[in-house]
Amino acid sequence: MKCLLIGVSHGYQYEGNKSVDIAAFNDLLKNEQALHNANLLAEELNNETIHNTIINGITGSVAEKISLKAGISHKFCDPTEKERKLLGIPTSREIKKKLGFDKLPCLTWQQAMEIEHEEKIYWEVREQFWLEKLIETSKDRAIFILGAKHVHRFKKLLEISEIKTQILYEHWMP
């Protein structure tokens, strides 16, 4: 298997998100898929997250839509809430509650950093989960879309697992 990584800000993954340039990301994915003849678009996302996202107008995943049009496979690789429970990974909501931030109307920069620090404790478990989901597809040419902060960590994990890996974009922006 060969896996090509595209690091992004997660907002680009959501079809219908009006706060970012979805058309540019759509074009990028279509072009990279064709250029590398990828037979799988996989991503750090799941259907549950799409449906629970509070951004108005979200209709799905950009990568899933492109996969359908290209006639190739698509795989959501991030654990659902049920899978998170089984893996011992708290949700952002649970972390906010643990830290006492769940009732606040908005967070300070420091509070947001505390939440991110807590979330990072579980990154290794999540990234291992993504790897397992990717492997179970049995596809040989994958593009994996993930949060930019995970790119180098996930690249190492893929290489340890003897998967040829290339970073196409460490943190893509239009």
Q: What is the CA radius of gyration of the chain?
A: 16
Q: Give pLDDT tens digits for 31-72.
A: 999 999 999 999 999 999 898 876 778 889 999 999 999 999
pTM reported for the whole predicted model: 0.94
Annotated domain spans of the chain: 2-169
Token pair, residue 44, equals 């750090």
Strands 141-147 and 2-8: parallel
**N- to C-terminal Cα distance for the chain?**
28
> Has residue 120 got a pLDDT over 90?
yes
